[in-house]
Amino acid sequence: MQLLVTGFFVLCGLGIVLSAILPENAAPRVILWAGAAASLVACAAGAEGLVGRSGFSLSLWAIPELGTLTLTMDHLSALFLLVSGVVFFATSVFSARYLEQYAGDFSLRWFAVIYHALWAAVAVIFLAGDAVVFLISWEAMSILAYLLVNFQKRKEEDEEAGYLMLGMGEAGFLAAALAFLILGRGAAGLDFASLRAAGVGLGGNLRWAVFLLSFFGFGVKAGLLPFNRWMRDVYAVAPANACALLSGVLLNLGIYAIVRFNGDLLPVRSAGPGLIVLAIGTVSALVGILYANRENDLKTMLAESSMENMGIVVAALGAGLVFLAEQAPVLAGIAFIAALYHMMNHAVYKSLLFHGAGAVDSTVGTRDMDRLGGLIRLQPWIAGFFLVGVLSIAALPPFSGFVSEWLTLQTLLQSAALQSAGVKVVFALCGALLALTAALAVTCFVKAYAMSFLGISRSNGLQQKGRVHRSMRVAMGFLAALCLLLGILPTYVIPVLDKPVSSLVHAQTADALVPPFFTTSAAHGPLPPAFVADFHEIGAQVGHSVLPGPGLVVLHRGGAANPVVFAMSTSYMIVVLILLLGSTFFLVRRWVARRTRTVRKPVWAGGLRPLLPALTYTATGFSNPVRVTFNAIFHPSEVEDSSEMVAQHFRTAIRRVVEEVHVLDRIFYRPIRLGATKVAAGLARMHHGRLNAYVAYVLLTLLAVLLLGRYF
């Protein structure tokens, strides 16, 4: 393990040096070879950390008053390192040709240096064994991410988006640092073991303070409401490969920090924090998918969808925290597995979709879905891979998103095991809202794929300006294959995820979720013989002679009255889908087609021939029902409504300019901004140039300080 970790940092350093000294046009190849090699080593280290029995620890330097800085790896950090390695590997391969479009306009050398430095900073966050290393690497990651986003500054608005991300990230960093200070003030050191021990004796009010500071501080990076204002603007201006890293890696840093802090260092003891996490995650998911539905820019739509997916992950985490506080460790473990499964799925399919958006933008020159259309004829490979990502993110079986979202909803339905009626109501409401979110996600990505790749182009000048290089297709194909494998092999993924979860809930969850049906006899220890025999009869043991593992059915057992709480098998589902699609194809092509005479004629559209692009269905028209239905949330305001008249009798034109105000700006940020403006205006009136008044201000301030010191 130490060799793998050392090799990873050596490769990142080599990438930085080679990017700095080699010619400008060599930077993409450095990312391809050094970045991909470092990513593969990171994947190997993460896999070893997940399957290995012993942990990893490396002492760095001893600093007076702060202790010894260390790097450690447990199952939780190994999982996030593995997922990040997969995303960085695919992005490194994709970037080799994608970055060529920026040659001559922007510094590719600078991008490559930042790229490898950011990868190293991300890995240090996962490997940090104390608060000092964690906070230093977190700050380095924030600065490097800002530099990566501002790689292509074309307009002043682009730079403002980067500053917004940096500013909000710094605010979250300060809140998280304060949480570490409160937790560590009575600790023997700042290493995680000492902080974990100090948290046992922390009082109730301080525990609440640490929870709120850490959750909302790290929630900024995870893209949670109300601190995700930066995401929309940043994703719109960043290159597509940087967006893939932002969504597939950097958002996961917020999830990792929340789990590390509130599940490991200072586990919650009451249901209150878990309910807050559940509610914030649910509302974030709903608001994110609502705004994704109304977006017509492909990258901005994917950015809003990232908020939705992070909301689902956090909602599952919140459910797990509630179950853990209510002494239901197995249900808590299932909820945490659902959260980590969805985090992993989102990293893979969202990176795939951002790569697809980048391939579209680089070859046709636009991301506006109102202008796209018919790309499946120009880019069949990209259309196929993008379809896999769309089916995954829409949670359609047998692809990856279905498993994690299904597990999340099933977990919320287990609130019947809780005692409090109020908690059950919260779970029911959040479950209903997440179900609505899932339905809106299908609508959103039907629009995204249909309006971009199907039909005809809605722009007369839309032509393919270049071809999608093989390396870009290979990167997308790799991620598309992972989307399928993560979807059809959940019984192999869940036991791996159980390793980091078991250390959080102190219980083995995999046996309760993936029963070992691959047995030679019906008499298996943990399962009643009759129960095993019944499921053997319906085929749960199919493949036991050729496939290793615990079976192909995800199933949660209940009591005697309800032996099967829920069950599902995407492994069998894909076989059934292949048989259904194959038989349908055979019947249509071999039986119906032979008995039907096909006549091909030009398309008729109201007497127009050929069909004009302006008369086709647009992305705006597709999403209009969602706009109308949820108008109370979007709440646009018309700032101009003018008409031109002829002889005061005939209206010739009406023009309306609609100002779109995001619900966060309207409810949260605008009141704060107006309040701050009023306070500043009041303070400005104090600067009137009268010396006596200034002396009075000083005396009043001194008196206030003395009184505070006297009584507090």
Q: What DSSP line would sit under 334-373, residue for residue?
A: HHHHHHHHHHHHHHHHHHHHHHHHHHHHHHHS--BTTT--
Instruction: Answer whether residue 673 shows pLDDT above 80.
Output: no
Query: Mean pLDDT, to the nearest integer, of 406-420?
Result: 88
**pLDDT tens for residues 308-362?**
999 999 999 999 999 999 888 989 999 999 999 999 999 999 999 999 999 888 8
Secondary structure class of 685 (helix, strand, coil):
coil
Residue 59 CB partners (closer than 8 Å, separation 6+): 68, 69, 70
Structure tokens at 217: 């501080």
Q: Are 399 and 502 in contact (CB under 8 A)?
A: no
Is a pLDDT exceeding 60 seen at residue 516?
yes
Q: Predicted confidence band at 479 (pLDDT cuts at 50, 70, 90)?
A: very high
Rounded to 10°, the helix 470-488/570-586 angle is 110
- What percent of the chain stands above pLDDT 90? 37
142 in any annotated domain: yes
Q: Indicate the pTM of the whole model.
A: 0.90
- Is residue 57 domain-resident? yes
Q: What is the DSSP letter of 191?
A: B
Least confident of 294-303, 448-457, 537-546: 537-546
In this predicted structure, the answer to whether residue 520 has a pLDDT above a threshold of 60 is no
C-alpha triplet 427, 330, 435: angle, nearest 5°: 30
* pLDDT computed for residue 708 by the predictor: 77
Closest residue by Cα to residue 528 from 537, 539, 517, 514:
517
50-62 pLDDT tens trace = 887 666 788 888 8
pLDDT tens figures, 121-145: 999 999 998 999 999 999 999 999 9
Q: Which of 183, 203, 223 is the last residue of a domain?
A: 203
Is residue 256 in a domain? no
Q: Give the C-alpha separation, 433 to 414, whole Å.
A: 16
Residue 578 lies in a domain: no
What is the number of domains present in the chain?
A: 2
Alpha helices in 260-297, H assignment, sequence order: 271-294
**Where does residue 345 rank: exposed (0-12), middle (13-18), buried (19+ CB within 10 A)?**
buried
In terms of residue numbers, what domain contains 669?
Answer: 637-673
pLDDT at 638 over 60: no
pLDDT at 152 over 80: no
Return the half-sphere exposure (C-beta side, CA atoms, 13 A cut-off) of residue 381: 14
pLDDT of residue 598: 75
Domain's final residue, options 203, 235, 250: 203
Percent of the chain whose predicted confidence (pLDDT) is above 70: 88
Nearest to 241 by CA among 92, 444, 84: 92
Q: Any idea which of 90-104, 124-138, 446-460, 521-535 has the lowest mean pLDDT?
A: 521-535
User: What's the rounded Cα separation, in Å, for the pair 67 and 130?
Assistant: 9
Q: What is the pLDDT of residue 431?
A: 92
pLDDT of residue 658: 63
Residues 385-391, mean pLDDT to the nearest whole number? 94
pLDDT, tens only, 196-208: 888 888 877 888 9
- Angle, to 10 degrees, between the axis of helix 131-149 and the axis of helix 251-259? 160
Residue 427 confidence class, pLDDT cut points 50, 70, 90:
very high
> In the listed set 163, 178, 203, which residue is the last one of a domain according to the structure?
203
Cα distances (angstroms) measured from residue 290 to each of 48, 252, 301:
40, 22, 10
β-partners of residue 640 are 657
Q: Is 505 part of a structural domain of the chain?
A: no
Domain-embedded: residue 91 = yes
Encoded tokens for 556: 């949660």
pLDDT of amino acid 371? 84
Mean pLDDT across 405-432: 90
The answer to whether position 455 is within a domain reads no
Alpha helix (H) residue ranges in 27-74: 27-30, 36-51
Q: Is 128 within the bounds of a domain?
A: yes
